[in-house]
Amino acid sequence: MRRVAVIGAAGRMGKTLIEAIDQTDGVELTAAIERPESSLVGSDAGELAGIGRNSVQVQDSLQKVLGDFDVLIDFTHPSTTLVNLELCREAGKAMVIGTTGFTDQQKEMLAAAAADIPIVFAPNFSVGVNLCLKLLDMAARVMGDEADIEIIEAHHRHKVDAPSGTALRMGEVVADALGRDLSKVAVYGREGQTGARDRQTIGFATVRAGDVVGDHTVLFASEGERVEITHKASSRMTFAKGAVRSALWLDGRAPGLYDMQDVLSLKD
Ligand SMILES: NC(=O)C1=CN([C@@H]2O[C@H](COP(=O)(O)OP(=O)(O)OC[C@H]3O[C@@H](n4cnc5c(N)ncnc54)[C@H](OP(=O)(O)O)[C@@H]3O)[C@@H](O)[C@H]2O)C=CC1
Ligand SMILES: O=C(O)C1=N[C@H](C(=O)O)C[C@H](O)C1
């Protein structure tokens, strides 16, 4: 049985992860952690997630429970994840990281830690989005030189980073396929007298509204036709199931930085 800990246990993803672990054979929730100031510390993690009592008490520190799990699932905030990363690295614990909003420098810290522990790090753990990444590579190679490329994403009002990690990854996949450097060609929103569109650019547009779980569209628009590749998540369970699948996949894996494409065997 794979022993799994969830940090950010009271968050939107934390609660869904606890439910997904409960629904999956071969994994067991052995620790749940929240911010020390949280009023939910000490509560029952199963009750918190709405699945009934599971006798896992929410703890106020990862350090206290380092001996109690094999893999940590972390969907929190970049600064929190980086602290957890060092603790897991020292303790030799595997990690599944779903947090988004890291800077390039912070991503390098994840890569450095992966020299010592196995980590699955992905901006989106759904099967559908990872399939879309493959389709985007193909669409960019076929249409990219002729088409204007725009990436539109929508999320719930509580999301704190923009564009979404998924939208940025989609941009990277398209830019890589076309031999472009995303940091040079990305345009994050437009306003005023912008001038005509530069064909090389990849545009991003962000919507934040209500309870949208996560919508992404990549538009390839040329003269006379356009292709739109769209993914819509209607439940966080799709992300949670992918993260739990990753936790199982990490069992016995060598140190390294992996992503959901590795877990799904989608790499060439
Ligand atoms: N890769 C993927 O497939 C997906 C990624 N995400 C990403 O996951 C992250 C979390 O999203 P979401 O669940 O919606 O956000 P929430 O704000 O609902 O959850 C984050 C949780 O982490 C807690 N937390 C923050 N700091 C600490 C700490 N030091 N110790 C323990 N717990 C802590 C927060 O507590 P508090 O509220 O008190 O701050 C909160 O409960 C985001 O970066 C989001 O983009 C989301 C969905 C899918
Ligand atoms: O914050 C969210 O909710 C989500 N974040 C991820 C991202 O930034 O791409 C994935 C998903 O779309 C939901």
pLDDT tens for 96-147 read 999 999 999 999 999 999 999 999 999 999 999 999 999 999 999 999 999 9
Q: Which atom of ligand 1 is nearest to the CA of 156?
A: 14
Give yes or no: residues 78 and 148 share one domain.
no
118 is in an annotated binding site: no
Same domain membership, residue 109 and residue 10: yes
- Pocket mutation for ligand 2, best pick of 75, 127, 164, 238 (most atoms within 8 Å of C-beta): 164
Residue 145 and residue 54 share a domain? no
Mean pLDDT (whole number) for 228-241: 98
Same domain, 85 and 54: yes
162 shares a domain with 201 = yes
Q: Is 143 found in the same domain as 93?
A: no
Residues 160 and 241 in one domain: no
Residue 53: inside a domain = yes
88 and 32 fall within a common domain: yes
Model confidence at 178: pLDDT above 90: yes
Residue 21 counted as domain residue: yes
Domain range enclosing 38: 2-121+236-263
Quick one: pLDDT band at residue 207, thresholds 50, 70, 90?
Answer: very high
116 within a domain of the structure (yes/no): yes
From the alpha carbon of 14, which atom of ligand 1 is closest? 13
Contact by Cβ (8 Å): 229, 218:
yes
Q: Measured in angstroms, how far is the CA atom of residue 6 from the centroid of ligand 1? A: 11
Query: 178 and 208 in one domain?
Result: yes
In a domain, 167, yes or no: yes
With a cut of 80, say whether residue 216 has pLDDT above it: yes
Q: What is the spatial distance between Cα 141 and Cα 21, in angstroms, rounded to a whole number?
A: 38
Average pLDDT, the chain: 97
The predicted pLDDT at position 5 comes to 98
Per-residue pLDDT band for 37 (boundaries 50, 70, 90) equals: very high
Is residue 268 pLDDT above 80, yes or no? Answer: no
Nearest to residue 248, comparing CAs of 24, 14, 7? Answer: 24
Ligand nearest to the CA of 155: 2
Give, using CA atoms, the residue closest to atom 1 of ligand 2: 159
96, amino acid identity: V
- Which ligand gives the minimal distance to the CA of 169? 2
Do 228 and 142 belong to one domain?
yes
Annotated ligand binding at 19? The verdict is: no
Cα–Cα distance between 15 and 214 in angstroms, integer? 17
Residue 106 per-residue DSSP state: H
Percent over 90 (pLDDT), the chain: 99
The count of domains in the chain is 2
Catalytic annotation on 158?
A: no
- How confident is the model over 42-96, as pLDDT tens digits? 999 999 999 999 999 999 999 999 999 999 999 999 999 999 999 999 999 999 9
Flag whether 268 is in a domain.
no
The CATH number covering residue 116 comes to: 3.40.50.720
Measured CA to CA in angstroms, residue 31 lies from 46, 63, 70, 238, 245 at distances of 11, 11, 10, 22, 18
Residues 132 and 222 in one domain: yes
pLDDT computed for residue 79 by the predictor: 98
Same domain, 109 and 9: yes
242 lines ligand 2 (CB under 6 A): no
Residue 92 lies in a domain: yes
Tell me if ipTM is over 0.90: yes
Q: Residue 216 corresponds to which tokens in the numbers above?
A: 């992404």
Amino acid at site 17: L
Between the CA of 165 and the centroid of ligand 2 the distance, in Å, is 7
- Answer whether 0.80 is exceeded by the pTM: yes
Assess whether 159 carries a catalytic annotation.
Answer: yes
Q: What is the whole-number distance in angstroms between the Cα of residue 6 and the centre of ligand 2?
A: 17
C-beta separation of 95 from 110 below 8 A: no
